[in-house]
Structure 1
Amino acid sequence: MIRRKILALFAVMGAAAVSACAPQTVYVPQPVAIAPQPMAPVCDTRFQVVNNSSRPVFSLQYSHASRNDWGVDQLGQAMIPVGGVWNARAANAGLYDFRITWNGGGAAELRRVDICRASRIVVTNRGLYAQ
């Protein structure tokens, strides 16, 4: 009986010794791949000022709506003639305010135009609108 217990003890110890030598499965965390975020579409800030009024446009000012001033006259010494088009590009995306003055007097303003959506500022005898 003692002999059986000793044999059983050796069997258990042998199994433990063999399992200690056996290859072990080790969990190694793998890095998780994160899908890149899609890039926001690039805003095209180019636009045209189209003079559909009956008078030449003497000055054109525009600035980001977050500013408190109109900025400089973009036309300088030039004018936008009746039926003329002037091409421009805003510095940044966002909302812009526009102001024109006509040759001979009078002015019109248009505020909070999303420059990413509007590609034309149209001057009429009644004022400005965006397309």
Structure 2
Amino acid sequence: MRLAACALLLALAACAGRGGCGADGAVVENASALAVEQLHLAPAGTEGWGTDLLAQADLPSGGRLPIRLTGPGRQALRVVWVNGRAAEMRDIDACTTRRITILDGSLRGD
């Protein structure tokens, strides 16, 4: 019994050291026809969108960007295309989502 408890504690410590279940990250893929000029990631339910992850350059059509989902918990993502249109995805599970695809006018998580 004691051995099982120690094994469980070691497993939990390993997860905590990795930064949570989203520490492996995800990939954002731009499958839309336009470049994306802003990409914001924030914990779901918080005020504001925080830092623009694309502050240095646009994400072109066909481009990919690895991101780190902070978890566990729900995340929200907002994209703004170069034409000013925007889309949001407000219920991203940081523990299971490994790819977010930017489509023409919407976002899809896998």
What band does the TM-score fall into relative to the shorter chain? 0.7 to 0.9
Question: Is it true that 1:103 corresponds to 2:82 in the alignment?
Answer: yes
CA contact (8 A) 2:86 2:105 kept: no
Q: Of 36, 39, 51, which residue of structure 1 is paired with 2:5? A: 36
C-alpha spacing 1:36/1:104, structure 2 compared with 1 (3 Å)? same
Q: State how 1:1-131 maps to structure 2 within 5 Å.
A: 33=2, 35-36=4-5, 38=8, 39-40=11-12, 42=15, 43-45=21-23, 46-131=25-110
SS in 2 for 1:96: strand
SS in 2 for 1:36: helix
Q: How much is the aligned-residue C-alpha RMSD, in angstroms? A: 2.0
CA deviations over 1:87-123 (Å, ceiling 9, x no partner): 1113332110000000121000001110110011110
- TM-score, scaled relative to structure 1: 0.68
Structure with the greater alpha carbon radius of gyration? 1
Quote the Cα distance in structure 2 between the aligned partners of 1:115 and 1:92. Answer: 5
Q: State percent identity of aligned pairs.
A: 31
SS in 2 for 1:86: strand
CA deviations over 1:10-41 (Å, ceiling 9, x no partner): xxxxxxxxxxxxxxxxxxxxxx9474162358
- TM-score, scaled relative to structure 2: 0.80
Return the structure number with greater relative CO, CA threshold 8 A, min gap 6: 2
